[in-house]
Chains A and B, each alone.
Chain A
Amino acid sequence: MSMLRGFLILVLFFLFGEALRLVFLIPVSGGVLGMILMTLTLMLRGRVSDALASSSQALISILVLLIMPGVVGVFFMASQFSGQWLAVSAALLLGTFLSVLTTLLLMKSMVRLSARSQAND
Chain B
Amino acid sequence: MTELVERFVALPDIFAASPIFAIGLTLSAFFAGNWLFARMGRPVWMPPVVLSAVMLAAVIAVLSVDYVRYQEGALWITVLLGPATVALGIPLYQQIHHIRAMWIPIVVTLPLAATMAAVYAVVIAWAMGATPEVLASLAPKSVTAPIAIGITEQLGGSVPLMMGGLLITGVVATLFVDLLAKWLPVEDERILGFALGLNGHAIGTARAFEISHTAGAFASLGMGLTGVFTALILPLVFRL
Contact = CB atoms under 8 A, between A and B. Distances in A.
The listed residue with most A CB atoms (<10 A of its CB), out of B60, B83, B125, B184, is: B83
A92 interface: yes
B164 A30 contact: no
A59 B160 contact: no
B116 A64 contact: no
B215 interface: no
A99 B83 CA distance: 29
A43 B93 contact: yes
Contact of B151 (A27, A37, A62): A27
Contacts, number: 319
Contact of B56 (A14, A27, A52, A72): A72
B129 A73 contact: no
B142 interface: yes
A89 to B, nearest CB: 8
Interface residues of A, number: 75
A68 interface: yes
A88 B85 CA distance: 28
Main secondary structure of the interface of A (DSSP, over half): helix
A94 B120 contact: yes
A72 B51 CA distance: 10
A120 interface: no
A19 to B, nearest CB: 12
Contacts of B136: none
A92 B169 contact: yes
Contact of B48 (A48, A64, A80): A64
Interface stretch (B10-18, B22-30, B38-46): B22-30
Contact of B77 (A29, A69, A104): A69
Interface of B: 22, 26-27, 29-30, 48-50, 52-54, 56-57, 60-61, 67, 70-71, 74, 77-78, 80-94, 96, 102, 104-105, 108-109, 112-113, 116-117, 120-122, 124-125, 128-131, 134, 138, 141-142, 144-147, 150-151, 154, 158, 160-161, 163-165, 167-170, 172-173, 176-177, 180-181, 184, 186, 188, 190-192, 194-195, 198-199, 202-203, 205-206, 209, 216, 220, 224, 227-228, 231-232, 235
Given A29-B144, A73-B163, 12 more contacts: A31-B83, A31-B144, A39-B89, A39-B93, A48-B94, A60-B209, A74-B167, A77-B161, A81-B161, A96-B141, A104-B177, A106-B109
Closest A-B pairs by Cβ, 3 of them: A31-B85, A38-B89, A29-B146
17 contacts: A10-B87, A11-B82, A31-B81, A32-B147, A35-B88, A56-B89, A64-B30, A66-B80, A81-B164, A91-B128, A92-B172, A93-B172, A96-B120, A104-B177, A104-B180, A111-B188, A114-B105
Interface of A: 7, 10-11, 13-14, 17-18, 27-32, 34-39, 42-43, 48, 52-53, 55-57, 59-77, 80-81, 84, 86-88, 90-108, 110-111, 113-114
